[in-house]
Structures are given as C-alpha cells and as structure tokens.
Amino acid sequence: MYENARATKLLATHCLMCNRPLVDATSVETGLGPECRKKHGFLEAQTAPQWELVAQFCPPEYMFREGETAREVVNRLVYHAALGMDKDKLCRVISAIRWLGYTKMADRLMSRLGDVKVEVVGGTIEVSAPYSDRFLYETKWMGRRWDPKRKVTIFPEGVRHRVWEAIRASYAGKMLVSHKGMTRI
C-alpha cells in the first residue's frame, strides 16, 4: 500500500474525519476526502473568524501568517492534524478551527476523536465512555442507569461533582468532549 512507503511519511494518507485512505491530490493536500469536505463544512465557514481567539488557541508552529485567509489557516491545521499530532496539541488545533469559523468541522472532529463524551440533558448527565471496571465501581451508588440504544450511562444531575470525580479517576489521560469543548482528563 502506498501509505506505508517512506516517501509518504510527510503526506496525509487518511481522511482526518472518516479515516479512509486519501486517493486524490486535493484530498492529500487538505487531509480530507471529497465527501468529508462537503459534508462537514470544509468548503465554507459557518461564522466569521475571531482572530484574537485563534491566536490564543493555535499552536505557535501553525500560527497564521500575515495576509492569510481563515480558509488557508484551516487547510494547514487540518493537514497537520491528519499527519498526526499529540492529543494536547490536537485539542488546541480543533479549538483554533472552531474560532476560525468552521464550527461544523470542529464539532465533528471532537465527536470523532474524543474518548469520553459528557452531555447535560434536562435534569440528567449522560456519559458515553469505553467500558471501565473502575468507573462502574466509582459510580455504583449514584443512581446510574444504562441506555442500551444510545449506549450512554445516565446520572441524576444532583451527583454531578461525584460523576466528574469518577471520570477523572477512571479515564485519566483520555480526551473528554463536553459542551465546553475538548480537553485531556
């Protein structure tokens, strides 16, 4: 396979969104396949860029250059993310993509790359995470309920702080996606 050749180590070989092999030049250049570029809002921004926030979140080595458009910066960030980077830097890149106005793409990247997802819905907290004996033990007496259709564990909102403590203890080092964004636990 071409993606294992030494010459391709500096090229994006798989789509950042769906992980399928990239087979055309534009896809390799952008780090996204043609369907994902259309489907996930890569072709146009959903909001105006907020450059001061981009400067705050963008890793220094990927920082925007004078005269560059938001689209050009996003293109470079997605390409480097597709090449592979550590999860802490990836969190910052996804935040920069969001502040550049590409919110659909940032949301999709967070949902695809996050290990643990937490959502507050009405009076409950919904946690979607890989199986962990420790998490089950830590949350044993919290009134949890398993929803097999959606594959989420549901907790009453009153135990919010204890659920966060259990997540920190059980999934240290994993990536967390919540309404506040993406971060390392």
Instruction: Say whether pLDDT at 113 is over 80.
Output: no
Instruction: Identify the CA nearest to 81 among candidates 172, 182, 179, 1.
Output: 182
Sheet architecture: strand order including 175-178? 145-147, 152-156, 124-128, 116-121, 175-178, 181-184
Around Cβ 35, how many Cβ atoms within 10 Å? 13
Q: What is the pLDDT of residues 133-172, one digit of tens each?
A: 999 999 988 999 999 999 999 999 999 999 999 999 999 9
Token duo for residue 142? 């919290």
Total number of residues shown for the chain: 185
Q: Which domains does the chain have, with CATH numbers?
A: 2-112 (no CATH), 114-184 (3.40.1170.30)
pLDDT digits (tens, 9 = 90+) for 15-61: 888 888 888 877 877 778 888 888 876 777 888 999 888 888 888 88
Q: Which of 174, 175, 182, 143 is nearest to 160 (CA)?
A: 143
pLDDT digit string (tens) for 9-26? 456 678 888 888 888 877
**Tell me, what's the pLDDT at 8?**
47
- Angstrom distance (rounded) from CA 41 to CA 152: 27
The residues near 178 (Cβ < 8 Å, ≥ 6 apart) are 117, 118, 119
